[in-house]
């Protein structure tokens, strides 16, 4: 057993590592597309909504599903869901408290149309506000 009397110091970030603007594509010949979509739904999101959304997201992005969506609920953190595609996958997170909110993380090795994802997600969850970012 190790006993510490003082917290370990947090090392500073080397110059530029905390700044994503300095991100260098180390594999430009490999397609990778990433997108985060977040919003406020107009209804309480359930297990069935998450599974249905992820299945339909597969169609919207033209991805091949390897396994059906998997979900889990935590009393502390809300719902989580995941779908595995042949070309990577997507994660879904949903909270009821402290606010009704969701976040979708998409990572693929196959290009997709981000506007189609935005439009589909906005309509599916009838959002009051939605933001999206590719990176």
Domain of 101, CATH number, reads 3.60.90.10
Instruction: Look at residue 9 and tell me if it is in a domain.
Output: no
Per-residue model confidence as pLDDT tens digits over 40-90: 999 999 999 999 999 999 999 999 999 999 999 998 899 999 999 999 999
Q: How far apart are CA 67 and CA 26, in angstroms?
A: 29
Which residue range is the domain that position 103 belongs to?
A: 45-134
Instruction: Look at residue 62 and tell me if it is in a domain.
Output: yes
Evaluate if pTM is beyond 0.85. no
Instruction: Look at residue 32 and tell me if it is in a domain.
Output: no
**Overall domain count for the chain:** 1
Per-residue model confidence as pLDDT tens digits over 107-118: 999 999 999 999
Angle of the 47-60 helix axis to the 114-124 helix axis, nearest 10: 150
Instruction: Look at residue 116 and tell me if it is in a domain.
Output: yes
């Amino acid at each position: 057993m190790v006993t510490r009397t003082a917290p370990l110091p947090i090392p500073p970030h080397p110059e530029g590592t905390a700044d994503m603007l300095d991100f260098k594509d180390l594999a430009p010949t490999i397609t990778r597309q990433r997108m985060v979509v977040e919003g406020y739904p107009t209804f309480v999101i359930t297990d069935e909504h998450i599974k249905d959304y992820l299945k339909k997201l597969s169609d919207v992005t033209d991805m091949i599903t390897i396994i059906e969506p998997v979900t889990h609920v935590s009393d502390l953190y809300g719902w989580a869901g995941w779908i595995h595609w042949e070309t990577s996958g997507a994660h879904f997170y949903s909270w009821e408290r402290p606010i009704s909110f969701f976040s979708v993380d998409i990572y693929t090795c196959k290009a997709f149309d981000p506007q189609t994802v935005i439009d589909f997600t906005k309509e599916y969850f009838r959002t009051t506000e939605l933001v999206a970012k590719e990176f």
